[in-house]
Chains A and B, each alone.
Chain A
Amino acid sequence: DQQVKQNSPSLSVQEGRISILNCDYTNSMFDYFLWYKKYPAEGPTFLISISSIKDKNEDGRFTVFLNKSAKHLSLHIVPSQPGDSAVYFCAASFSGTYKYIFGTGTRLKVLA
């Protein structure tokens, strides 16, 4: 049973426009949600996180929104840049434990 789902395997966006990556989860007990970015042949890089007690967190061009009632989170990138082209993973974890549960990833392509 996949507890964290990214239903869109790929997304293409024009440079300068907004990229919206989506993630759904099934367990309402998750305490933290995180987004990672991964280039080919490299390890994932942490981007941004959000606690379950918040509904928005912003860091520069990246904003994560959490809708607990819908069990849905999204990552907004504004404006999108060609260097943002990568695979984006969302992940969820419980506080007090050490496990991160990852989605299957969304490949973002930003077109120049």
Chain B
Amino acid sequence: DVKVTQSSRYLVKRTGEKVFLECVQDMDHENMFWYRQDPGLGLRLIYFSYDVKMKEKGDIPEGYSVSREKKERFSLILESASTNQTSMYLCASSRISGGPEAFFGQGTRLTVV
């Protein structure tokens, strides 16, 4: 079974802090994604990566950056956390070929106060 693990389930940070969200997958998937989920807005793509050190902006990249130094690990960085970044953050991974589905981690509920 594919396992995508996010480092924290719940996180509370202060406005202006630099925040790191970590994600690890164990299935050698090429693609990794960061989404955020907000009520009424569904899942919106922040960044994705299709290879080590490669990244592309998604639909809402402002205020975020990412790092992928190893194939299995994809980090989301909030450079200076703000209250409007309070959300559920979801990491996912998928293969380049084969089935189209992405597999998600359990999510990190981030609250910025």
Contact = CB atoms under 8 A, between A and B. Distances in A.
Contact of B42 (A32, A49, A105): A105
Chain B facing A: main interface SS:
strand
Contacts of B56: 98
Given A98-B48, A98-B50, A104-B40, A43 B102 contact: no
A43 B35 CA distance: 11
Contacts of A100: 33, 45, 92, 102
B103 interface: yes
Give the interface residue-count category, chain B. Answer: 20 to 34
A41 B109 contact: yes
A14 interface: no
Interface residues of A, number: 26
Given A32-B100, A43-B107, A98 B94 contact: yes
Nearest to B2: A46
Interface of A: 6, 9, 31-32, 34, 36, 41-46, 49, 51, 89, 91, 93, 95, 98-105
Interface of B: 4, 6, 9, 31, 33, 35, 40-45, 48, 50, 56, 58, 90, 92, 94, 96, 99-107, 109
